[in-house]
Amino acid sequence: MKYIGKIPEELKYTKEHEWVKIESAHGVIGITDYAQHALTDIVFVELPQVGKKAGQFKPLCVVESVKSVSDIFAPVSGDVVEVNDNLSNNPEHVNQDPYGIGWIAKIKVFDESEVKNLMNAEEYKKYLEGLEH
Amino acid sequence: MHYVSNTEEQIKEMLDVIGANDVSELFKDVPQSLILKEKLKIPSALSEMEVGRLLKSIAAKNNTGMISFLGAGAYCHFIPTIVNHLLLRGEFFTAYTPYQPEISQGMLQAIFEYQTIICNLTGMDAANASMYDNSSALAEAAIMACRIKNKNKILISRAVHPEHREVVKTYTNANSIELIEVGCSNGTTEIGEHKDFAAILVQQPNFFGLIEDLNAISDFAHENGALLVVSVNEPTSLGILKSPGSYNADIVVGEGHSFGNPISFGGPFVGFMATKREFVRQIPGRLAGQTVDSEGRRGFVLTLQAREQHIRREKATSNICTNQALNALAVTITLSTLGKELKNLAIQNLHKSHYAVNSMENAGIKRVFTAPFYNEFVVEVKDLKKASENLIKNGILPGLDLGKFYPEHKNRMLFCITEMHTKEQVDELVGALSSD
Amino acid sequence: MKLIFERSVKGRKAVELPKLDVPLQANLIPEEFIRQELDMPEVSELDVIRHYTALSRRNFGVDNGFYPLGSCTMKYNPKINEDMARLEGFSQLHPYAPEESSQGALQIIYELQQYLKEISGMDAFTLQPAAGSHGELTGIMIVKKYFESMNEKRTKILIPDSAHGTNPASATLCGFECVEIKSNSEGEIDLDDLKSKLTKDVAAIMITNPNTLGLFERRILDAAKLMHDNNSIVYMDGANLNAMLGIARPGDFGIDILHINLHKTFSTPHGGGGPGAGPVGVKKHLERFLPKPSVEVVDKKYRLNYNLPDSIGRVRAFYGNFGILVRAYTYIRSNGFEGIRAIGENSVLNANYLLAKLKKHYHVPYNRTCQHEFVLTDKYLSNDVSTNDVAKRLLDFGFYAPTIYFPLIVHGAIMIEPTETESKETLDAFAEVMIKIKEESVNDPEILKSAPLTTPVSRLDGVLAARKPILRYERTMALNEPTH
């Protein structure tokens, strides 16, 4: 049976399985429960540098499992203002709590209207159910 | 003599199982026009006795009977007898890269020990499982530094081995990295005014055998926000010289062949590469790491593999795959055997080479540079061609003609004296060199 | 098992040098350069022998048993090769010895180049690259230099999705952008996809033939023609050349640049991961770009030619992994033309025989005559038993595991290459075990999931090793090994 995982209502989602939570012109970014499950044990998160300009759906950083490497794409455009340094020593947080202590980066959003290109929780759930694997 | 096991009868049985009449049917996917109709123009097979005779006759055309004082990147050192005995164990030398760790603990642990020994020698935090040789390791270090610093310019000392500089140039050309040579008119590196570079590459001891002032070069690199890359071409020097790590080097590469690997016309050798903890994820090549098995027992695996080409493909830190594992094993066994005697070995190199220089100076042969040196040195000869002929006449291989690589050093020879040379051999060299 | 450092006993020695026979002098090197500590194991000669003998017994080579590691060509490594490489005339020869003193070594290089030209159909060779991936890098540098010499800016390299990871890594190292070409339903390059991506800025394609599925690219001539019509270069990864020895030649099917792995096709041992050698062959129009120096014959004397103005430069100091070249030379002379052909025939015969025995039991994604290797999948395994479980279980039966999860385009790939040196009996025994493992997946899946049961350690925690890397021994390191 396919693993769908938790999909919090209040977040927005990408087709590449990132989530973003927008609050007062800032967006907190992470990967979804489905993604952490598919990637298996995450062993390293190559955090973006603070100050990096992220473009919507452009590579933001990289996460590694033992035998794979995956790009993480920015759900919205903006400047990286904070990263979750805790992940350097505790990459397992992404597996344990992808929507909480496993967050990856916080960005200052350029254009909040980009959110319309993202999925809400219900749309993401349907999208996952429609995927082949 | 060939090594196929199937008999004619077995081949028939096997074809029956496959459902083919003839082996040629198995190649039906190869377009007919491509199937070779004629025999390859290669001599007919030889028996073991014949091939042995042939190779011995070819080997005999190489004259290895003369006394050699050649170094310059290929050093003749003592290899303990046991090294070859252990290397020839088929479990090691006929194994592939340890992809199945449960059945490859021998090689994985040996790599872990090798990494530890290289770290101890160089004073660095982490070393990889090996590189092809010193030259390619140095080139990879240049690329690694550019990646870390996100810059496109590298400084390299002219006192780095000339062939290593050529290899770095080939690699940096392909990567569109600017490579700037830093001079060494007095034999040691003169840093000069440079800005905005990713790293400076120096060799210690340098190609002329001289000991570089790494404190000054390290400050220069770090004040400019760049990395210090130190290349150790003659690693026995680390038995007596301070480690590059103690000068705050960021990447250390070198040649390991001096430990347990014969000179063998320049290969196979074994490059090493070590770095600081903060740059471990940028290092190319394989890494062995410690872990536990399902019962909590210590074991070793290849780790941080996501850096490598088989996973990260075009985004890998390097394309390196096969390395020099068996040569690295020779390094590990040799250094385990030498142990702390390595210090004595280095001391012997130091004293014998200084004895040679003193004797030459007493005989009126001038040493060219004044900086402290380890086991190699440059001397002036009146007429290089004549001096070479004279040495050969005395059964001695000439030293390296420095003019071949440095037009400014015509009629200068580079000699290397190691623990392998006796006082008598050194005296013969001095005699032959001063006789014209 | 202990590490060599954990066997160290203060004051113990394995070796002693002769007494220094020159006068001791003071202050040869300023104090500031002198090292204070030297952390090395202190062990006896017997300690070293026992330690590394014990380590060797925790390792597995071709000498121990069948090693069906796909694309790695783990054939028998003839012992005579080792003896020949150790002849004093080769092993004690200095790379800067005068050419007159190195005629034998230069002859080996020159003649080996001739043999490789004849076997591969290429026009010129360099033996300088130290490994297959080093050869690839050299080849792609030649591609880059070639277009520079034509004043053409070409930025892309096409790479099939079934390619080995070194291909894109090598292309990127030279600043090229990699463009993936799809495989079609028969496991070959999709020529329509190739056509659609073949723009004017494509410098080359990197082909593996036979490809990593063990299949011959039947439309190789069409693919090469498409590339050549676009003035692009066809590069071939020769990792799988074993299948074609004496049968067909890459130089005859449009390959412009080829690298060969001497440690695969020409029997030099893998040494637990090297040393290898990765000679590169090219067609005439690319010869001038090969690394320098080259080896030539002038007046019946061999000499090194450094005067090659168009060369990409050196890719390695000296002349490559010479000792490996001696082994390959010995192997080619031992086999002769007739033995070389027997390698090609029997490697393909062995693979097809094993495939025929296994295809009733394991899913075969591309059901065709294979070349030197073939790929199975995990599809017919029961109870969630994975490809990895099969690989681990094979270790319990005294076999090494096949290459797994590669090529990436096959789900749960099990890639098997028996090589020509294995006998029918060995293949029968392996097939029997593979079938037994398939049955175990139905009747006793737990044994598969906990395998291997007979090795010195059980499955290792790769996640721990990557999350908390320990890459060297430190004296403070806690020993968590139970005493036996």
Structural domain contains residue A31: yes
Predicted local distance difference test score (pLDDT) of residue C283: 98
B259 shares a domain with B404: no
Q: Do B74 and C94 touch (CB under 8 A)?
A: yes
Predicted local distance difference test score (pLDDT) of residue C484: 38
Structural domain contains residue A58: yes
Burial of C247 (0-12, 13-18, 19+ CB in 10 A): buried
Count of CB atoms situated within 10 Å of the CB of C306: 11
In this structure, what token pair is assigned to residue C122?
A: 């290429």
B267 shares a domain with B240: yes
B411 shares a domain with B401: yes
Residues of A in contact with C463 (CB under 8 A): 41, 43, 66
Q: What is the pLDDT of residues C391-438, one digit of tens each?
A: 999 999 999 999 999 998 999 999 999 999 999 999 999 999 999 999
Predicted local distance difference test score (pLDDT) of residue B113: 98
Q: What is the pLDDT of residues C187-223, one digit of tens each?
A: 999 999 999 999 999 999 999 999 999 999 999 999 9
Q: Which residue of C has its CA nearest to A88?
A: C467
Residues with Cβ within 8 Å of residue B348, at least 6 apart in sequence: B418, B419, C17, C20
Q: Give residue A106's domain range.
A: 12-124
Q: How many residues does chain C have?
A: 484
Q: What is the pLDDT of residues B174-223, one digit of tens each?
A: 999 999 999 999 999 999 899 999 999 999 999 999 999 999 999 999 99
B400-401 β-sheet, strand order: B376-380, B412-416, B400-401
Predicted local distance difference test score (pLDDT) of residue B308: 79
Three-class secondary structure of residue C128 per DSSP: coil
Cα C354 from chain centroid? 23
Helix (H) / strand (E) containing B357: helix B341-362
C467 phi-psi bin (left φ>0, alpha ψ -120 to 50, beta other)? alpha
DSSP secondary structure of C150-165: TT----EEEEETTS-T
Predicted local distance difference test score (pLDDT) of residue A133: 52
Query: Tokens 């721990």 — which residue?
Result: C464
pLDDT, average across residues B7-28 = 97
C-alpha dist (Å) from residue B88 to B104, B282, C52, C58: 16, 34, 11, 15
Q: What is the pLDDT of residues C355-367, one digit of tens each?
A: 999 999 999 999 9
B241 shares a domain with B173: yes
Structural domain contains residue B5: no
Residues with Cβ within 8 Å of residue C92, at least 6 apart in sequence: B64, B76, B262, B263, B264
Higher pLDDT, B179 or A38: B179
Residues of B in contact with A64 (CB under 8 A): 306
CA distance, residue A120 to nearest chain B CA (Å)? 32
User: Across the strands, what pairs with A69?
Assistant: A64
Give the end of a domain, one of B338, B362, B386. B338
User: Looking at this protein, which amino acid is placed at residue C466?
Assistant: A
Q: Do B2 and C334 touch (CB under 8 A)?
A: yes
What are the φ/ψ torsions at residue B214 (nearest 5 degrees)? -70, -25
Q: What ipTM was predicted for this assembly?
A: 0.97
Question: Could you give the number of structural domains in chain B?
Answer: 2
Pairwise CA distance, residues C166 & C212, whole Å:
13
Pairwise CA distance, residues C301 & A78, whole Å:
68
Pairwise CA distance, residues B108 & B129, whole Å:
9
Structural domain contains residue A91: yes
Task: Give the burial string for B88-125 (b: 16+ CB within 10 Å, else e).
Answer: ebbbbbbbbbbbbbbbbbbbbbbbbbbbbbbbbbbbbb
Pairwise CA distance, residues C419 & C431, whole Å:
15
* Average pLDDT score over chain C: 95
Q: Is-contact B55 B309, C-beta < 8 A?
A: no
Structural domain contains residue A81: yes
Predicted local distance difference test score (pLDDT) of residue A67: 78
Structural domain contains residue A3: no
Structural domain contains residue B244: yes
Residues of C in contact with B167 (CB under 8 A): 313-317
Q: Do A43 and C405 touch (CB under 8 A)?
A: no
Question: Could you give the number of structural domains in chain A?
Answer: 1
Task: Check pLDDT > 60 for residue C482.
Answer: no
C274 phi-psi bin (left φ>0, alpha ψ -120 to 50, beta other)? left
DSSP secondary structure of C218-240: TTHHHHHHHHHHTT-EEEEEETT
Higher pLDDT, C114 or C477: C114
Task: Check pLDDT > 70 for residue C477.
Answer: no
Q: Which residue of A has its CA nearest to B282?
A: A46
Nearest to C457 among B80, B102, B132 (CB): B102
Please report the residues numbered 324 through 343 in chain C whose beta carbons come closer than 8 angstroms to any beta carbon of chain B.
324, 326, 329-330, 332-343
Q: What is the pLDDT of residues C118-154, one digit of tens each?
A: 999 999 999 999 999 999 999 999 999 999 999 999 9
B363 shares a domain with B254: no
Structural domain contains residue A6: no
Predicted local distance difference test score (pLDDT) of residue C219: 96
Pairwise CA distance, residues B152 & B176, whole Å:
8
Q: Which residue of B has its CA nearest to A88?
A: B278
Structural domain contains residue A5: no
B200 shares a domain with B327: yes
Pairwise CA distance, residues B116 & B124, whole Å:
9
Q: Do C318 and B73 touch (CB under 8 A)?
A: yes
Beta strands at A68-73 and B67-68: parallel, antiparallel or unpaired = unpaired
Structural domain contains residue B386: yes
A3: pLDDT confidence band, cut at 50, 70 and 90?
A: confident
Structural domain contains residue A88: yes
Predicted local distance difference test score (pLDDT) of residue C479: 45
* Average pLDDT score over chain B: 95
A26-31 β-sheet, strand order: A12-13, A18-23, A26-31, A105-109, A78-83, A53-54
pLDDT, average across residues B283-288 = 94
In this structure, what token pair is assigned to residue C312?
A: 């990409």
DSSP conformational letter for B373: B
CATH code for the domain of A32: 2.40.50.100
pLDDT over 90 percentage in chain C = 95
Q: Give rounded-to-5 percent helix, strand, coil for chain C.
A: 40, 10, 50
Q: Do C463 and A41 touch (CB under 8 A)?
A: yes
Three-class secondary structure of residue A61 per DSSP: strand
Predicted local distance difference test score (pLDDT) of residue A1: 56
Predicted local distance difference test score (pLDDT) of residue B1: 60
* Average pLDDT score over chain A: 92
Choose among C161, C158, C76, C109: nearest CA to C320: C109
CB pairs under 8 A between A and B: 18
Task: Check pLDDT > 70 for residue A73.
Answer: yes
Q: Is-contact A16 A41, C-beta < 8 A?
A: no
pTM of this structure: 0.95
What end-to-end distance do the CA atoms of chain C give, in Å? 10
CB pairs under 8 A between A and C: 14
B349 shares a domain with B327: no
Count of CB atoms situated within 10 Å of the CB of C227: 22
Predicted local distance difference test score (pLDDT) of residue A131: 82
Predicted local distance difference test score (pLDDT) of residue B306: 82
B436: pLDDT confidence band, cut at 50, 70 and 90?
A: low
B435: pLDDT confidence band, cut at 50, 70 and 90?
A: confident
B296 shares a domain with B173: yes
Structural domain contains residue B95: yes
B325 shares a domain with B354: no
Q: Which domains does chain C have, with CATH numbers?
A: 4-56 (no CATH), 80-334 (3.40.640.10), 342-465 (3.90.1150.10)
B319 shares a domain with B209: yes
B257 shares a domain with B357: no
Structural domain contains residue B393: yes
Q: Do A65 and B281 touch (CB under 8 A)?
A: no
Helix (H) / strand (E) containing A83: strand A78-83
B302 shares a domain with B208: yes
CATH code for the domain of B247: 3.40.640.10
Q: Give residue B132's domain range.
A: 81-338
Task: Check pLDDT > 70 for residue B305.
Answer: yes
